[in-house]
A and B are shown apart, each in its own frame.
Chain A
Amino acid sequence: MLIQAEHLQKTYHMGAVKVEALKDASFQIAAGEFVAIIGPSGSGKSTLMHILGCLDRPTAGRYLLDGHDMSRASDNQLAEIRNKKIGFVFQQFNLLPKATILQNVCLPLIYAGLRGRRKQQQLARQALEMVGLGERLHHRPNEISGGQKQRVAIARALINNPALLLADEPTGNLDTKTGQEIMKTFHRLNQEGHTIILVTHDPEIAAQARRIIQIRDGLIQRDEVIA
């Protein structure tokens, strides 16, 4: 099993107020799956994704990635896992505005300790071609369209060959047509063997996955495989 979530719980303290963003979430995801996590705004989707993406640790429960317990890992260990095993795609693209497309895609390679600018750029070009971007590589993010930005983000997420691709509302800032193109890209990547977890509040987007985990008020309501 790639992912084993056991009674994940996340509580935020805001002064005296306790917010239980995640109350009890348990599920397993195998390598090669394409899962949509769906739920209304504020239901705890992003919180769950942060834990699955090793950006955060659960308050209680266990999270095993590839059989390793991430719930007790150190900050440095989590950083290394994020770098090697996880690729993020965000709603706001989260590209560095002052870096070129190519430099943005190279970033995970730098933190992986890969030497040689030429080698980095060669890998980055390959990743960009995989998502259908072959030009404008020396432009900055504000010089390309939203759809292109999201492709750059996907290329960046893929560059270290991660075990898991995590996308939080990846189509949220795109028009329907562009969103569909991005979804096609995810489909193709899934067919090529990538494990994808997609967070969305949009049932239409979720329906394109092969399994839907529905979450509400920090609890899993439904977990079913569709056709």
Chain B
Amino acid sequence: MILEILRMALDSLTTSKMRSFLSMLGIIIGVAAVIAIVSVGSGAQSQVTSQISALGSNIINIGPGITRGRSGRLSFTATDVFTMELAEQILRNCPSLARITPNVQTSGILIAGDINYQTTTVGVTPAYQEIVEYYPVRGQFINAEHEANATNVMVLGAKLAEELFPGQDPLGQRVKLFARNRKLLFVVIGVMEEKGTGAIGNLDNQAFIPASVLLKKINNRKYVSGYTAQARSSETAKTAVAEVEYFLTRYLLDTDKFNISSQEQILATISEVTATLSLMLGGIAGISLLVGGIGIMNIMLVSVTERTREIGIRKALGAKRKHIMAQFMIESLAMSGFGGLIGIIFGWLGALAVAKVGGWPLVVTHTSVLVAFSFSLLVGLFFGLYPAQKAAKLDPVIALSYE
């Protein structure tokens, strides 16, 4: 019986294909929008997340506090707070921290032979490699001895090495650094692996020298802009933040002088923001689904009126309310369901196109497909109910005499 009614319903849909398609359009657009928006949202999120994760894991950033400036403007203060000694003290006093490295860098010009290259030079300690998860492929990284003795050694990013020494072996070569009106000669001791562009810019064309060299011989001051620390594990990351906060509050006696942010917090914030955004856009797409439902209801009402006589005939032959009801419900469900399927295909194609342009992986989750499809069925169910009920309630005598 159900099969028969299903066949009858589908027959009636296929006899007016154009009309059925136009009625499904709202659902198609709605579902496609939901799929595409959710996919683009999670694709963008996964890209940002992976960029941030690429910085290392369980990272905690310690920087200057952000306070209100004199005339009400935001200003960064307390730049004269963070020293190399303080970094060691933080590490000693916060048992949940595994390592810490200062944030200090300068922009300058590197010269090798007759090649000049304007880039950022980063002052690092040995811990930098583990924290950023970034290692040399050739030679070695800055070690503790270089740092302690402020030796003029330099490690080159992968691309920078190619730029400065095309077709040559950079190891052991000499590089001059011009920065802040100073000129310093370095020996290249290592070349880093390729890391690509990430959330903190392209590491591949940067140069790395001991932090002590940068501070003493170039900046000529003992302060760095902040620290990047790493917790022992993701479980202790929260504790580590609390420990650093506690220590710095006691040490500096001013919570406005510093600001701590963990990678975990940043990731949480980002996923929160993108989730809200996706939800909002998804909601807008949901509204178009609703509009699609009204379209279906409209066409179903037209169909019921057009087929009043048919309904009368069916009733005369013994169709009960439930049979007529089922027939029209199946029609509207078939319309919304089929519209949903077409919408999924279009949404997927849209998401694919945006992912190609945005350069992130295509993420079409089962959940979004399932939710969008069930929602379209639900819309068909809800908006089909009234027309179907109207059909089922028709008086057989009146329906039979309908012209």
List residues of chain A with CB under 8 Å of any chain B CB: 50, 53, 55-56, 75-76, 79-80, 82-84, 88, 90, 94-96, 98, 107-108, 110-113, 115, 156, 160
B12 at the interface (CB under 8 A from A): yes
What is the minimal beta-carbon distance from B102 to any residue of chain A, in angstroms? 81
The range of chain B's interface size is: 20 to 34
Task: Let me know if B396 and A107 touch, CB within 8 A.
Answer: no
Q: What CA separation (Å) do A95 and B4 show in the bound complex?
A: 18
**Given contacts A79-B319, A113-B1, A94 and B12 within 8 Å (CB-CB):** no
Can you sample 17 A-B contacts with CB below 8 Å? A53-B316, A75-B320, A79-B315, A79-B321, A82-B316, A82-B317, A82-B318, A83-B319, A84-B318, A96-B313, A107-B317, A108-B318, A110-B1, A111-B318, A111-B319, A112-B318, A113-B1
A-contact 0/1 string along B69-108, CB 8 Å cutoff? 0000000000000000000000000000000000000000
Task: Tell which of A53, A75, A80, A84 has the most Cβ of chain B within 10 Å.
Answer: A75
Q: Answer yes or no: B400 CB below 8 A from chain A CBs.
A: yes
Q: Is the interface of B mostly helix, strand, loop or mixed?
A: helix
Decide if A94 touches B318 in the complex (CB within 8 Å).
Answer: no
B371 within 8 A of A: no
Contact check: which of B4, B12, B315 meets A110 at CB < 8 Å?
B4
What 9 additional pairs, Cβ within 8 angstroms, besides A79-B320, A90-B400?
Answer: A55-B316, A56-B395, A82-B315, A82-B316, A84-B318, A88-B317, A108-B317, A111-B319, A156-B317
CB < 8 Å neighbour of B318 from A79, A90, A115? A79
* In the complex, chain A residues whose CB is within 8 Å of the CB of B5: 110
Q: Using Cβ atoms and an 8 Å threshold, which residues of chain A touch B317?
A: 82-83, 88, 107-108, 111, 156
Asked if B15 is an interface residue, CB under 8 A from chain A, the answer is: yes
Which A residues lie within 8 Å of B321 (CB)? 75-76, 79
Q: Chain A residues near B15: list those with CB within 8 A.
A: 98
- Minimal Cβ-Cβ distance residue in B for A95: B313
> In the complex, what's the smallest C-beta–C-beta distance from B326 to chain A, in angstroms?
11
Known: A79-B318, A79-B320, A111-B323. A55 touches B397 (CB 8 A): yes
Q: How far is the CA of A112 from the CA of B397 in the complex (A)?
A: 21
- Please determine whether B320 and A98 come into contact, CB atoms closer than 8 angstroms: no
Minimal Cβ-Cβ distance residue in B for A98: B15
Q: Verify A115–B316 contact, CB threshold 8 A.
A: no
Q: How far is the CA of A75 from the CA of B319 in the complex (A)?
A: 10
**Chain B residues in 8 Å Cβ range of A95:** 313
Min CB gap B399→A, angstroms: 10
> Is there an interface contact between B320 and A76, defined as CB atoms closer than 8 Å?
yes
- Do residues B1 and A94 form an inter-chain contact, with CB atoms below 8 A? no
Shortest Cβ distance from residue A102 to the other chain B in the assembled complex, whole angstroms: 13
A98-B11, A111-B323 known; A50 vs B397 contact (CB < 8 Å):
yes
Q: Using CB atoms, name the residue of chain B closest to A85.
A: B318
Chain A CB within 8 A of B314 CB: yes
B310 near A111: Cβ-Cβ < 8 Å? no
Closest chain B residue to A53, Cβ basis: B316
In the bound complex, CA of A107 to CA of B318 (Å): 9
Q: Are A55 and B314 in contact, CB atoms less than 8 angstroms apart? A: no
Q: List, in ascending order, chain A residues with CB within 8 A of B319's CB.
A: 79, 83, 111
**Residue among B5, B323, B397 facing the most chain A CB atoms (10 A cut-off):** B397
A84 to B317 alpha-carbon distance, docked (Å)? 9
B318 touches A83 (CB 8 A): yes
